[in-house]
Structure 1
Amino acid sequence: MARWGAKVRISFDNRRTRLHAKSWIFHRNTGATTAYIGSSNLSSSAMLEGLEWNVRLAALESPSLLEKINAAFESHWESEEFRAFDPDDDKQMEVVRKALDQARGGSGPDPILSFFDLKPHGYQQTMLDTLAAEREHGHTKNLVVAPTGVGRTMVAAFDYARMESEAQAGSLPRLLFVAHRERLLDQSLTAFRHVLKDTAFGEKLVGGARPQKGDHVFASIQSLNAGGRIDALDPEHYEVGLPPSATTARTCAGGSTDAPPTRCGCGTPSNSDSSRPSTISGSTMVRT
């Protein structure tokens, strides 16, 4: 498409963005602009034969909706996260090939090809600002609640980076990050390394992997429970605890007050019950 004259922008950050939106906007000089938004690719099999759902919008019928769609597209297009793509740039093509290879599979944290200046999206910044405000009021144990795809792990990474910037020079707060599956730990470790721009950050405690220093540990709940490790943990050692869900937080803490002084859990807003603390800040964060 780029060689045919189309302008193309790409986000190489496949761990964070995972852009899956499919929208097609056709601008016409007559003003009869139309847009298609749905699940299918723009192909004959997808549009005519596949079991796909799409919505067609016309500017003459729904001008306000078309304006919102255009504004959303422009916000992504102008974002620093998306870079102009040149298929004749050999160096850029090599980065694209490596990024595609990583996205297709592989085990362990993804190798860092290059660092980008990652910035939180607006809605993520709102969560970060709310967390900071809660801590200023002495509330250090918080639960971020957001739908899948919002980037809860990235919020945790940005939040930790802020703590790092506020700490003494050369001092990283000791961190315990807990998840149920190794793949989640690998993705989270990669996210933290990108945000912190540190390829050596973090160690894993899962399967056969054992931390050497133990200051920044990404652990599975199974490995923590094995051999009584969780009971042997010194609650004063880790300054930050990050269970990625409310369920994991309950499993780790077990209702005990012996937990890192700063704890932030990330969960999906589902299956609410009366035992859950009251929601604050527009259902983006729950205080415990």
Structure 2
Amino acid sequence: MSNAITGISDHLEPRLASAIRRADSVRLIVAFVMESGARLLAPELKLAAHRGATLKLLTGRYLSVTEPSALYHLMRELGSAIDMRFYSGSVQAFHPKAYILDSGDDADVFVGSSNVSRSALTDGVEWNYRLTKAEHPDDYAKFSATFDTLFDTCSEQITQDVLKAYALTWKRPALVRVAEEAEAPLQRGYAAAAPPEPRGAQIEALHYLQQARAEGVEKGLVVAATGVGKTHLAAFDSLGFRSVLFLAHRQEIAEQAHKVFASVRPGSTLGLYTGERKDQGAGVFFATVQTLSRPEHLEVFTPDYFDYVVVDEFHHAAADSYRRVIDHFRPRFLLGLTATPFRMDNKDIFAICDDNVIYEISLKQSIDRGLLVPFTYNAVYDPTDYNDVRIANGYYVIEDLEAHLAQTNRADLVLEHYLRLAGRRTLGFCASIKHAEYMADYFSSHGVPATAVHSHQSQVDGTLRRDAAVAALERGEIRVIFAVDIFNEGVDIPSLDTVMFLRPTESYVIFLQQLGRGLRKHPGKRRLTVIDFIGNYRRAHYLPRLLAGENPWDER
């Protein structure tokens, strides 16, 4: 077998895996580590650690190519068995790619072009060369001694604090985005053939959840932008628990969570507990708060029935119905999930989880890391005078909004800016059902195929059912869906490239949820276009801080 590995018909990973299986010492020195590569090598490294092998990794952080999630994955899988360090020498350039694997009196050294990434190790055109200590003792000695010098004197140990600081400021470099787009078809093939696994920020959150429980924490909150994958995170985190409750505020959300957990926990018995369906004997229940909060249903479950409780949309947790459920159960761990902990009524939801915000990644951070697509925000002046709209119980009166917004001059303004700014697939959020139907009729009559979707879900007057409307939008049969609140949660249209806000923003939570409908990644999608018609309505001045990921209520 040739010692030259060229990446045409042979690749480094099989040779490397074989050497790791024999090794009693593993030393890796690479310019960068990607999550895909860390995931690929972790099983072999874990087996080596169990045999008592020493594991050392020296990598770089120059240009921020090394992914924090890769290091969190290794830390989570290997713990203290691996000593990971960042290169910190005076010479900024750091480009080695070498793997030194000692086994008794001999050793294998692989030197070449492969960093720790799936493509570099398995299917890329990478040139590497293998030499052995027995055949090339002088070369081995130089590589070995130089690694030890750099590791011992030109490095910073990757502790929890060091990795957290790196992760907080990390942005996905443009060159990584380009490489990912090129690899996307292959990565989708791998994902389709394999069971679901934690990705990106999910890996980081799982690490901190595991650490928190090890320190005795029994309740905690994860704050992550819409689209990061909070439901999958909860499913992965629940794997160490026998009985689980997932609490949602809508049946559709419960049903979608059921599907996610079924893919992550195929061996578990799953059941629904909602107004329409009440399963029995399940180990994992998905319940709606409207049903479970009623005394006759809470009594079905003893306080210690569930080991693990997930409260979705935790910003609702201050409501009486949620508190009845939360106060009834005594799980080993309670996990709250939310995209934003900001509440309009200033109620403190942090106290419900003992002020433990275990992990947080803002909308801005999610975009910087490439977990969501960036967006262009277009604030369009809206001459509508909201001073003439009545307010009842803190909100604009719908009938007054309809009268002001469902007008030809307002619709002309919306159409004008839609034609100038929008992409191929648009979702427009309206003030009411009548407003949505008016806008759908107006756009259709002006040559832009559109439909209104609302809770009535009839198929008359140009209104399609929601699923049919989404399918028509994706096929290009219609260009715009006008909706009220039915698309706020639980509906994913990754191909959506434009969101229009045609009504005043009164709820920060709803605004971010609606914005999040368009931020999911999709092949060929580079960014989301946001068209927001800004008038003199209340709270409009909070939007810049909200979009920056800040709490709009904080005083400056």
Q: TM-score, normalised by structure 2?
A: 0.30
Note the alpha carbon deviations across 1:70-109, whole angstroms, 9 max, x for none. Answer: 0342464453xx118xxxxxxxxxxxxxxxxxxxxxxxxx
1:149-193 per-position Cα deviation (integer Å, ceiling 9, x unaligned):
0110000001112x15xxxxxxxx111111111111111011011
What residue number does 1:181 align with? 250
Structure-2 change in CA distance of 1:283 and 1:230 (3 Å): same
Matched letter for residue 213 of structure 1: G
After TM superposition, give the deviation of residue 67 of structure 1 in Å.
Answer: 2.2
Separation of aligned partners in 2, 1:230 and 1:182: 17
Name which one, 1 or 2, has greater alpha-carbon Rg. 2
Q: Distance in 1 between matches of 2:270 and 2:359?
A: 33
Q: Specify which of 171, 190, 201 is matched with residue 259 of structure 2.
A: 190
The 1:148–1:208 alpha-carbon spacing in structure 2 relative to 1, beyond 3 Å, is: same
1:283 pairs with 360, 374, 386, which one?
360
Cα pair distance change 1:279/1:83, threshold 3 Å: same
Which whole-Å deviations, capped at 9, do the CAs of 1:42-78 have from their partners, x for residues lacking one? xxxxxxxxxxxxxxxxxxxxxx975243034246445
Distance 1:69 1:116, change over 3 A: closer
CA 1:149–1:139 in 2, change beyond 3 Å: closer, same or farther?
same
1:239 paired residue number: 307
Alpha-carbon RMSD across the aligned residues, in angstroms, is 3.0
Question: 221, 224, 240: which one pairs with 1:143?
Answer: 221
Q: 1:274 to 1:182 in 2, by over 3 A?
A: closer
Return 269-278 or 144-153, whichever deviates more. 269-278
**Cα distance change, pair 148–240 in 1 and its aligned pair in 2 (3 A):** same
1:263: how far off?
0.8
Q: Is the 8 A contact 1:204 1:210 kept in 2?
A: yes
Structure 1 position 146, deviation (Å): 0.4
SS at match of 2:334: strand
Judging changes above 3 Å, is the alpha-carbon distance between structure 1 residues 77 and 117 closer, same or farther for their aligned structure 2 residues? same
SS in 2 for 1:256: helix
Partners of 2:331 and 2:221 in 1: CA distance: 14
Q: Are the equivalent residues in 2 in contact too, given 1:239–1:261 (CA < 8 A)?
A: yes
* Offset at residue 207 of structure 1 (A): 2.5
State the alpha-carbon separation in 2 of the partners of residues 205 and 65 from structure 1.
45
Provide the C-alpha distance between the structure 2 equivalents of 1:181 and 1:242, rounded to a whole number of angstroms.
14
Q: Are 2:140 and 1:71 aligned?
A: no
Distance 2:356 2:332 in 1: 21
1:177–1:241 contact (8 Å) kept in structure 2: yes
The alpha carbon displacement at 1:223 in A equals: 1.2
The equivalent position to 2:333 in structure 1, one of 250, 256, 262, is: 262
Aligned amino acid, residue 158 of structure 1: F
Q: How does 1:197-212 map to 2 (within 5 A)?
A: 197-198=266-267, 201-212=269-280
> Cα offset for 1:116?
3.5
Q: Secondary structure at the match of 1:266?
A: strand
Equivalent residue, structure 1, for 2:8: none
Give 3-state SS (helix, strand or coil) of 1:156's partner: helix
2:322 counterpart letter in structure 1: C
Question: Structure 1 residues 221, 74: CA separation in 2 closer, same or farther (over 3 Å shift)?
Answer: same
Q: How does 1:1-288 map to 2 (within 5 A)?
A: 66-74=174-182, 76-79=184-187, 82-83=188-189, 116-161=194-239, 163-164=240-241, 173-198=242-267, 201-226=269-294, 228-230=296-298, 233-250=301-318, 251-254=321-324, 256=327, 258-271=329-342, 273=346, 275-277=348-350, 280=357, 283-284=360-361
Supply the distance in 1 between the matched residues of 2:277 and 2:328 (Cα, whole angstroms).
Answer: 28
Tell me if the contact between 2:247 and 2:287 (Cα under 8 Å) persists in the aligned partners.
yes
1:170 counterpart residue number: none
Give the superposition deviation at 1:212. 1.7
CA distance in 2, matches of 1:274, 1:143: 16
- The letter for the 2-side match of 1:83 is G
The answer (yes or no) to whether the contact 1:115–1:194 under 8 Å persists in 2 is: no
Residues 1:220 and 1:276: Cα distance change in structure 2 (over 3 Å): closer
Cα offset, 1:230, TM superposition: 2.5
Whole-angstrom CA distance in 1 between matches of 2:193 and 2:254: 20
**Given the superposition, is the C-alpha separation of residues 142 and 201 from structure 1 closer, same or farther in structure 2, using an over 3 Å criterion?**
same
AA of the residue aligned to 1:259: R
Give the TM-score normalised by the residue count of structure 1.
0.54
Cα-to-partner distance string for 1:188-240 (whole Å, 9 max, x where unaligned): 01101101124x63111112311221432111111113353235632111111
Alignment length (residue pairs): 181
C-alpha separation between the residues in 2 aligned to 1:159 and 1:259? Answer: 18
Question: Deviation string for 1:106-153 (max 9, x for gaps)?
Answer: xxxxxxxx9842111121100001100000000021111100001100
